[in-house]
Amino acid sequence: MIVTVTLNAAIDRTLLVPNFRLGQRHRASVSLASAGGKGINVARALKRLGVPVVCTGLAGGRTGVQIVERLTGEGLLNDFVRIRGESRTSTAVVDPTSNVYTEINEWGPEVEEHELLMLEEKLAYLTQGADFVVFAGSLPRGVADGFYEEAIREVSRRGVPAVLDVDGEPLRRGIEGEPYLVVPNVREAEALVGHEFAGDDDLVAALDEIAELGARNAIITNESGCVALLHEDRAELRLEAHAPRLEPISTVGSGDALLAGFIAARMSGKSFDEAVRAAVATGAASVLEVGAGRFDVREVSRLAALVTVGQLEPAASE
């Protein structure tokens, strides 16, 4: 069983608007509303890949009721802490003609201390015997930046590997909790290590910098696939993977699908090489459909054969 944790759950609205222009009136060609937030998106993708998963987190107000109802309607197991504040709604406008999308995200609810304590108790219960715990997405108001760090240390003490997918200061603090895996994109990785990447060498060097900060394994996602630094026993593996060129319909949630693909592959006993291949194929398949965590599993299998995976040389020391 995988447990995903989404503190800032949302109702995600995705609008497909060809030739979107600011200040103009448009009619969406496709409109999709679903329960969202990064942890929920990962859970949805895991379920499609046949992995048992339960999602938890915080859900409040009428929007929180809708989140839980929609998850239940999808057949996604869930056990959220109900809070007083109103959960957020997020909107993504996707322009398929330019492959550009615009996100508008609300801040989310104000969370009280006793509500966080209830979540910590629920996590202690749900993670008994879990194979992985995925902490993903932004923190709502009232939650300290160090929440993920403390939560990761707690589940690690119980022998459960923690995966962290977040950005900004919560990522920096969370890595200090020594998670099993972190999955930043290029922009998030640049902010984490404190400098922009001038080329591939900087990207490879960033993997080592992230490991030095505390992460046991790191995958940095980019537009073409990912680079990864992975450890098993005493072996160290550096990989790069590239997906075939596709005409994307929507890239929203592709990183969440990639993470789910990696976890699902590792759960089925695949090697790191094959897990990275599966991850990139899953992320690529997700850009062919509207809605985070949605893809055709048959397309994942087809694309996996087209993903190229190679070994990376360590970054040259100065």
CATH number for the domain harbouring residue 166: 3.40.1190.20
Once rounded to an integer, what is the mean pLDDT over residues 56-72?
Answer: 97
- Please tell me which residue, 83 or 251, carries the higher pLDDT value: 83
Asked whether residue 184 is assigned to any structural domain, the reply reads yes
Confidence check: pLDDT of 101 > 90: no
Confidence check: pLDDT of 316 > 70: no
Number of domains in the chain: 1
Asked whether residue 317 is assigned to any structural domain, the reply reads no
Quick one: pLDDT at residue 307? 97
Confidence check: pLDDT of 179 > 60: yes
List CB contacts of 231: < 8 A, sequence separation 6 or more: 216, 217, 237
Confidence check: pLDDT of 311 > 70: yes
Once rounded to an integer, what is the mean pLDDT over residues 239-255?
Answer: 91
Asked whether residue 147 is assigned to any structural domain, the reply reads yes
Tell me the pLDDT tens digit for each residue of 106-126.
888 999 999 999 999 999 999
Quick one: pLDDT at residue 256? 96
Domain span holding position 299: 2-21+28-311
Work out the pLDDT band at 32, boundaries 50, 70, 90. Answer: confident
CA distance linking residue 287 with residue 247, whole number of Å: 8
Asked whether residue 318 is assigned to any structural domain, the reply reads no
Work out the pLDDT band at 205, boundaries 50, 70, 90. Answer: very high
Once rounded to an integer, what is the mean pLDDT over residues 311-318?
Answer: 73
Asked whether residue 150 is assigned to any structural domain, the reply reads yes
Asked whether residue 207 is assigned to any structural domain, the reply reads yes
Confidence check: pLDDT of 317 > 60: no
Q: What mean pLDDT is reported for the chain?
A: 93
Asked whether residue 316 is assigned to any structural domain, the reply reads no
Asked whether residue 145 is assigned to any structural domain, the reply reads yes
